[in-house]
Amino acid sequence: MINERNLLIWLNRLGGITYEMILDFTEHFGKLTELWHAKEAEIYEVLQNHRIIADKLLKTRNKQYLEKVLTETNSDAYKIVTILDSDYPEKLKSIYNPPYVIYIKGIADFNKPLIAIVGARKSTPYGRWAAKKFARELTEWGVGVVSGLALGIDAEGHKGALEEKGYTIGVLGCGIDTFYPSSNYHLFKQLEESGCIISEYGPGIEPLKHHFPARNRIISGLSDGVVVIEAGEKSGTLITVGFALEQGKDVYALPGNINNNQSKGTNKLIREGAKILLDTEDIIEELRYKYDLSNTKKEWEIQEMLSNDEMRVFDIIKRQPTHIDVISYKTGIGISELSTILTILELKGLISQLSGKTFTADK
């Protein structure tokens, strides 16, 4: 029962013990199991500026309490993953102060391309429309959406992904068994079935105010970039942006009406160097450096609108710009018939002709 993994769960359950403190323990004692047997004076020495936490640790350092913690946190409703486990998200390992214990409900898929969509709780109709639009379009490219399951922009981002039968992750600022806000109950249940909910807080932990800025580092940490839809000048959303910048993530901001308070934060971000978000392709272009992406919905629509010969020709051109003679050789289609097919593909907006009878696929 007394092993490194279980002790991480115990320390997490106490609250207030950061990963930096875990590293201090490990550096001082060599391994966490030595903490269990360490003298009180040594523990106070390591936690010299955190006497209350040290008192709490010593008070609960017994097998009865450890057993109680392990029993309370054990459930078939969620999975516990520690930073020692092989299935801990790689993206979180590299951030400052990573959560050393996370609770997971639903389907865990943290290695796929992920984009955070965040913004104001008191959002405008335009903001809610934009959040859902970008979430839906990212999903078409196989990109998952990460957000905080809050009202407003967060909720619309999750809904947009779910409507396209895509993948979305909700990061909580409360216990894994708590539905907060309660008005998003049905959205929680959808994520449990079709997406993923994670939290660094175990069962029964209330949604305290300071939990939400902390959870924002996880939202940005899991993501390859952060999209800000709407935010006031002093919005909590900007905390997520701060974490994203510290973590070296791309930040995209949707420009808004200068007379709208909920656009002041995003417009300021753009002025300070955030990428202007005008089209989903702005995000996809950056993700292509890291992932092999394709628009599955677009490909299906293309297949529906093309004949077999047109599809054969398009499949060649979309790989790289190709001369008409090479296309003819690869397909066995004569130049006269091929010219007609190429004209049709141009009229359908799928290809363009470069100089010298070379054709390239349009984005």
Crossing angle of helices 237-246/211-222, nearest 10°?
50
Residue 140: phi and psi, rounded to 5, are: -60, -25
314 and 209 inside one domain: no
Alpha carbon distances (Å) from 72 to 5, 65, 115, 188: 16, 10, 33, 22
pLDDT at 190: 95
279/327 same-domain check: no
Instruction: Give the residue carrying structure tokens 């790689």.
Output: 90
Look at residue 353 and tell me if it is in a domain: yes
| pLDDT (mean) for 261-281 | 91
297 pLDDT band, cuts 50/70/90, is low
Q: What is the CATH number of the domain that holds 322?
A: 1.10.10.10
Residue 131 and residue 145: Cα distance in Å, rounded?
10
Rounded average pLDDT over 177-193: 94
CA atoms of 177 and 170, how far apart (whole Å): 13
Sorting pLDDT into bands at 50, 70 and 90, what band is 189? very high
- Residue where a domain stops, chosen among 231, 255, 287: 287
pTM for the model: 0.82
Q: What's the token pair of residue 61?
A: 């350092």
65/69 Cα distance (integer angstroms)? 6
The enclosing domain of 189 has a CATH number of 3.40.50.450
Written as one string, the DSSP assignment of 334-361 is -HHHHHHHHHHHHHTTSEEE-TTSEEEE
Q: For strands 196-199 and 168-171, give the pairing.
A: parallel
Residue 274 DSSP label = P
- Tell me phi and psi for residue 361, to 5 degrees: -80, 140
How many structural domains is the chain composed of? 3
Q: Are residues 137 and 248 in the same domain?
A: yes
Alpha carbons 148 and 214: distance in angstroms, whole number: 11
The Cα-based distances of 246 to 94, 112, 216, 243 in angstroms read: 11, 21, 12, 5
Q: Is residue 189 part of a domain?
A: yes
* Contact call for residues 267 and 128 (beta carbons, < 8 A): no
**pLDDT tens per residue, range 306-342:** 899 988 999 899 888 999 999 999 999 999 999 999 9
Domain of residue 185, residue span? 105-287
Residue 349, pLDDT > 90, answer no
User: Has residue 264 been placed in a domain?
Assistant: yes
Q: What value does the mean pLDDT take over residues 197-214?
A: 94
How high is the pLDDT of residue 363? 61
Rounded to an integer, the average pLDDT of 17-43 is: 92
**Residue 117: inside a domain:** yes
Domain check: are 122 and 207 in the same one? yes
pLDDT tens string 90-105: 999 999 999 999 999 9
Domain-ending residue, one of 258, 287, 316: 287
The per-residue pLDDT for 294 is 78
Angle separating helix axes 324-331 and 308-319, nearest 10 degrees: 130
Query: Within a domain: residue 274?
Result: yes
Say which residue the tokens 């040290």 belong to: 54
